[in-house]
Structure 1
């Protein structure tokens, strides 16, 4: 029995699932606020997915097997990110109970001046991310420590998280070790060194703008400063054993990253390092987590594992500090994992049904000159982050979509790869249901909507890309071969 060929979806029909998703997420966030990730957002994504499936099967005769395969492929592509996310949860627990993060906070409070804390945090995360090539790892380690220092100094959570994310994504974007940098350049077919050098024309000005804003904010914001910093430092020293030897854990982790080991291997090793340090330096904390007074092999093993996978609450005598050092472990990441899976289902059916392709065709209609080409690329990168909920898929789709078009218009491939990075890479963390936005909100404990206005570098990058394209700085046209 023959089946009818699948029709090409109309753009206005393809926009219906995305409109449904946007409306449902708006209602969910109004109802649940910061708790939207606990189930409401997931239901919104699945509801929008069902709308897409009904339209695809009912109107365009798309077979369910095609949609199912697209969903499976999307979830398969996100599997490593899910494992990394769980390991980040384990790092959050073990690095806290072992005293690694408290030690970093303690010494940070002694060194960082409150007036320049935001700018210093941005620079520190930029350097670490540049050396490691991973914004996720940077935020999950040094970023968590800086978040604690900023809270101890009395800075608003949004400003601190914004400075951390801005620096981490700047370093990630221009790092030779970054997977997104390599992915963007390879997708378009540009040598990675050429890609990085060309990005500097938009990336450096955006970072300078971010540093200027964070410096001004640090000098003008009303923060608790020295008083609360001293109080928190004393409470940390009274609760944990503070020693410079604990800094060997992040140092050893940095060495593994520099050796270009896979992220999963590096993060798991970081958990093991912290577990060893936990038993050696903070046995009283292990006993407290295990719920016993004295340790033996079994209770020690129990305490170590509980710090990896479960929530821990460590009383310090200071309510705000108690909240800071409390961790949720791997279990605390499960809502985010659930959200990622639901987001991958939505992105999968949008791709498999051809609706995503129909929507992207809209961007191509506006491409006439250099500025419109860059503007359409930037718009597509942001759009794909919204509807596929995945940074890597956004980079690949945007690069592939515009590659032939740039060649036809005589535009350099490096301009395309840079425009993809200026949008798909850095804006992913600004989307609450994107895997990057969900992860960083979970890791830092700050809602995406709270930190979004303060991610100055991430907001400035696409605008800088448009500005540079408008003035034509370092943009050359190639001769089109007949």
Structure 2
């Protein structure tokens, strides 16, 4: 007998929504493994879908599609694990740390971590790659100082996601402009109005933190010990930094991400064998299990013993479960019902519209375990009509999607991005309060809607100083 699909009522949608959030929050607070918590959240979502008359065949098809769509990302994550292990063996990350300690003053380390991570991410189009390369080097240098590691990681993450948001090579940048039907560079130009002022203030804050907590905090003897240890166990040369530069070059030449990452892994492996004399079998073990060395210096070993495919397995589990949960939730239509029957009824002007879109992106991201692509797609589908009816250009919509949808990913404690940062940089979630850039951007997004600066009507005309573009009611 064919199941009849039912439209969720507002009460059912709200109850289901809160139930899934409650399951995630309670389980994670109880200390249940994040992958298992999200899996159980997905089970609840499947139960909701079945209750709405969605057949198991449809649910299974949804799950298959989302896993198939996510496969390229799975491969990239695995290759990042390989790359970190091989970069340790080749001396690339040790060289970045060694020369960084020679050149970088503790007072500028924090703002520099923000700037360099941002530049790396803009060139590569990947926040994950920036964290695993420049971020790893910055944290390694920070470990020789008294500067708070969570503060440095907050600066790294802020910079990495700035680049992810602004880079024309980034998947989220292309996704937000694509689903909103906005030309890519119009979308990037619109984001300048919220990103640039937030970045300038973030640099000032990070610089102040660096001067306050970094002045005189470099332990010269400890720094010298680390540098001499690195020199003792690796053949140091500036040429070892070339694999890191290669990551930038493959992006400049717009090489496909998987192909570019694979090429970088191969060349880095050659560097490890040629310059460090690493055997092929040992190198393959480092690629899978992570780099392993006993230097006899307690502070150095944790810096170097990282990476490998195995270090990414928990992340892959979380990513897979989060993708499944997000896809099933979207298929039920409960988010659309909540938006249409609850949220849109309160939208009377552009300020409330932008604010509601931001909040909605945050909520979807927290519910979908930091699935920024899910957040962008669902929010765009929900609010595109509202922006059109109010006469606001869609490049404001696409910008708002990124201001919250993209940037909130690394501040979801149980999210894929957060777990990735924690895995690669060997930190806990205490870095989240220091992601100042990420918290500043939505503030400027709201300020733009209040002042009209950085706002355009559907004809592309500036809305400076106008309260709203159209009085057309959003809900009939």
SS at 1:446 equivalent: coil
Distance 2:76 2:452 in 1: 40
Pair 1:454–1:334, CA change in 2 (3 A): same
Distance 1:234 1:260 in 2: 39
1:109–1:149 contact (8 Å) kept in structure 2: yes
Pairing partner for 1:55 from 43, 48, 73: 48
Q: Which residue of 1 aligns with 2:461?
A: none
Pairing partner for 1:157 from 149, 155, 163: 149
349-358 vs 366-375, greater mean Cα deviation? 349-358
Q: Which residue of 1 aligns with 2:463?
A: none
2:144–2:219 contact (8 Å) kept in structure 1: no
Pairing partner for 1:130 from 110, 122, 125: 122
Q: Which residue of 1 aligns with 2:465?
A: none
Q: Which residue of 2 aligns with 1:294?
A: none
Distance 2:430 2:282 in 1: 34
Distance 1:31 1:235 in 2: 41
Q: Which residue of 1 aligns with 2:440?
A: 460
Q: Which residue of 1 aligns with 2:363?
A: 383
The two structures have a TM-score, normalised by structure 1, of 0.90
Does 2:418 correspond to 1:437? yes
Q: Which structure 2 residues correspond to residues 62-461 of structure 1 after superposition, within 5 A?
A: 62-221=54-213, 224-227=217-220, 228-283=222-277, 286=278, 300-361=279-340, 362-389=342-369, 390-447=371-428, 449-461=429-441
Q: Which structure 2 segments of 5+ residues have no match? A: 459-468
The two structures have a TM-score, normalised by structure 2, of 0.91
Distance 1:115 1:133 in 2: 28
Distance 1:365 1:387 in 2: 22
1:71–1:347 contact (8 Å) kept in structure 2: no
Q: Which residue of 2 aligns with 1:293?
A: none
455-464 vs 355-364, greater mean Cα deviation? 355-364
Q: Give the C-alpha shift of residue 230 in structure 1.
A: 2.3
SS at 2:347 equivalent: coil
2:143–2:149 contact (8 Å) kept in structure 1: yes
Q: Give the C-alpha shift of residue 78 in structure 1.
A: 1.6
* 1:290-334 residue CA offsets vs partner (Å, 9 max, x unmatched): xxxxxxxxxx22111001111332122221211110014001111
2:82–2:290 contact (8 Å) kept in structure 1: no
Distance 2:245 2:298 in 1: 30
310-319 vs 267-276, greater mean Cα deviation? 310-319
Pair 1:471–1:66, CA change in 2 (3 A): same
Q: Which structure 1 segments of 5+ residues have no match? A: 287-299
Does 2:8 correspond to 1:9? yes
Pairing partner for 1:471 from 437, 451, 464: 451
Q: Give the C-alpha shift of residue 137 in structure 1.
A: 1.6
* 1:77-125 residue CA offsets vs partner (Å, 9 max, x unmatched): 2211111111110011000011110001000001111011100111111
Pair 1:25–1:132, CA change in 2 (3 A): same
Distance 1:92 1:16 in 2: 43
Pair 1:462–1:221, CA change in 2 (3 A): same
Q: Give the C-alpha shift of residue 406 in structure 1.
A: 0.8
SS at 1:320 equivalent: coil
Pair 1:177–1:52, CA change in 2 (3 A): closer
SS at 1:136 equivalent: helix
